[in-house]
Amino acid sequence: MIARRTLLASALALPLPARAGEPWDAVVDPATGTLGAALAQAEKAGRPFRILLRPGIFTEKLTVRVPGLTLQGSPGTVLQYGTAAGTAKPGGGSWGTGGSGTLAIAAPNVTLRGLTIRNSFDYIGARRDGAGNGAQAVALAVGREADHMIVDRCVLLGYQDSFYLQARSLITDTRIVGGVDFIFGGAAAWFEGCEIVTRYVPNADGFGYVAAPSTPAAQEFGLVFSRCRLRREAGVPDGSTWLGRPWRAGGNMALMGQAAFLQCWIDAHIRREGWTWMGYKGPDGEQRRLTPPEARLWEFGNAGPGAAPAGADRRLLTAEAAKRFTRANVIGF
């Protein structure tokens, strides 16, 4: 029985003959195969590769290293793992935030479609028990090598640091769920038609920050949200959540966060002040704050009960300035 199961798993991870309308190089069923085996096959192929995942749960922590790979989910396909910053690595040491991701992308021109990617770390339990270093637990990590990343019609689930972006990315019609800094990084990224959902956390004083851009000062654009919907889970109160805060990662003075929300619908959980500061350690070792007026944090044409204007630090683009914020300008594709 074990031998037969192994043979089935291996077969499903091998390239299959292309069918009309389904030109898949590998089709994987979680009952009999693994995504890891299919990725290994893709690496051996040495060319762009297409993988279809059947419905079910894949409990795997993986890195994509194949340029041009397409990973397509089916309704009910879930990729999950439960690693957070500070949890032990196999072979010794512990994961950092960037290494905690359920799925990491480390190659250019990768496309993800129709997947649910979840970090299943017990954030609520860790918070209750005082465990972990803030419980950063990434669902999807797009590394610096992953230029021209596409995420389409996916669901990304976490609590703190759900989605980490460090390379040019296009994110369309995707549901992104989290709480603290749950869309973050130094990438130029264009989010279009996405649903961005703040999670409920029992006994929380506040409900976090949507965006934490760490954009290089020399880079014109960072995290740009176009025609997205900012919603909340049941129990998240009005005026409890920040649009975001600028992240000067590692105290790097060359980072000056950039984010913009353009023609989005914003629910009443977003605070009237909009943006807030984030602390960092300066070159002299002193603790400092990077404030919204120092960073490049903007809105334009938003609607809904949580939309601007409100507060001196919640700045609106002029119609002329907003013309610069196009998909072509932000990411070039």
Query: Which amino acid appears at position 225 of this protein?
Result: F
CA atoms within 13 A on the CB side of 214: 20
Query: Which amino acid appears at position 311 of this protein?
Result: G
Q: What is the rounded CA–CA span in Å between residue 260 and residue 106?
A: 26
Residue 181 known to be catalytic = yes
Q: Are 135 and 126 in contact (CB under 8 A)?
A: yes
Crossing angle between the packed helical segments 35-45 and 2-13, to the nearest 10 degrees: 50
Q: Are 115 and 73 in contact (CB under 8 A)?
A: yes
Identify the three-state secondary structure at position 284.
Answer: coil
The active-site residue out of 152, 161, 173, 284 is: 161
Q: Are 158 and 141 in contact (CB under 8 A)?
A: no
Q: What is the rounded CA–CA span in Å between residue 189 and residue 19?
A: 34
The active-site residue out of 25, 147, 181, 267 is: 181
Q: Are 121 and 85 in contact (CB under 8 A)?
A: no
Catalytic residues: 161, 181
